[in-house]
Chain A
Amino acid sequence: MVRSIGQNVFAVEEQIRAAVSGQRTVVSVDLADVSYIDSTGKRLLFDLALLLQESHIVLEVIVPFDSPIRRLIELSGLQSIAAVILVHRAESSRVGPVELVLPAQPWALKNIRHTLRRWLSGVGASPRVVDDVLIAVGEACTNVVDHAYGTEGGTVNVHVEFQGPDVVATIADTGQWGKPAVGNRGRGTLFMRHCSDDLRIDHGPTGTTVVIRRHLIEEGT
């Protein structure tokens, strides 16, 4: 367990590299107990993300919402190459919201589903609700990957929380959608509607926000 990353950066790097071996697709670095990180620690995370990227391994960085290093991670731009997941601390009895910031790349879709499955199983969602939320959020994220950004790329932000009896997922980007939804994407919107109880899509000048609401308990059951 590491509490701060600064002077000890080489030792930390060595330990992380040693832990990362064999066939893996995701490496998760939990920063819940890290209260301080400086530029060397930041660089360590960047280098690690790039190193893993070469082997098609995704780096997940888990940071609590109330962490003192949250802002630094958010401002670092790490989310352009790694999956940054903001979570509530485990000790709270209520399942809190989870937020993911990932590069708007096709490979990120799988990581989004992975985190959502974990969160949804934690709240006791039925297989049907899990399927619905995964499809609806998946379609919204696919739209971001496909349409929101040009060649320079960008990030997709997924926030999931409870609002009363509903699971509410908000998918946001800061891009400008090139073309209106047609063909394949038209069907994507259709699927989003079928898989949610309420769907709002807001195309603004600074980006697009999609809000998906799904009852956790099926009506009539």
Chain B
Amino acid sequence: MTIATVEASADHGAVCIRLCGEIDLGNVSTVEEQIYAAVSGRPIVVLVVSVVSVDLTNLTYIDSVGTRLLFDLASHLRRLRIALKLIAPFESPARRLIQFSGLDFLHANRRCRKRRHWYYHSYTAGLK
């Protein structure tokens, strides 16, 4: 089976999810379950969550199945008035696929240089 790990942490109204490994048709439902559990499995925290960030830096494979998961998550969070921030380095497959999909409902949020040699670009869906 395709292997991906979902690490989640919560801090001051923000839930950070780090995805590592590969996402395809073989494991997308498992990954989806884990992400939704991380987002909504905190009944007290969820009331004050204003942003969910998903770090795609260590994702070695993603395709339309995985990007669909991200877009579904964006609309789900939008209904809850929670912003989604995607973190994907330049030239990473995840970032290129997000760009190919069109950024209709993803607003380029900010550009920052977090680590040496690595540029991150994040998008916030929904809430401005």
Contact = CB atoms under 8 A, between A and B. Distances in A.
Q: How large is the interface on B (under 10, 10 to 19, 20 to 34, 35 or more residues)?
A: 10 to 19
A191 B64 contact: yes
Contacts of B96: 131, 194
Interface stretch (A27-35, A105-113, A160-168, A200-208): A105-113
Nearest to B25: A106
CB-CB nearest 10 A-B residue pairs: A106-B26, A188-B64, A106-B25, A187-B64, A110-B2, A131-B93, A194-B100, A109-B24, A138-B63, A184-B68
Contacts of B61: 113, 134-135, 138
A194 B96 CA distance: 9
A131 B64 CA distance: 14
Given A110-B24, A128-B91, A139 B100 contact: no
A139 to B, nearest CB: 6
B65 interface: yes
B1 to A, nearest CB: 6
B22 A142 contact: no
Interface string B75-100: 00000000000000001010011001
A138 B100 contact: no
At the interface, is chain B mostly helix, strand, loop or mixed?
mixed
B121 to A, nearest CB: 17
A187 B67 contact: yes
A20 B93 CA distance: 34
A134 B22 CA distance: 12
Contact of B64 (A56, A110, A184): A184
A185 B65 CA distance: 8
A131 to B, nearest CB: 5
Given A131-B93, A142-B64, A145-B25, A187 B1 contact: no
B2 A139 contact: no
Nearest to B68: A184
A106 B24 contact: yes
Contacts of B68: 183-184, 187
A169 B103 CA distance: 29
Contacts of A185: 64
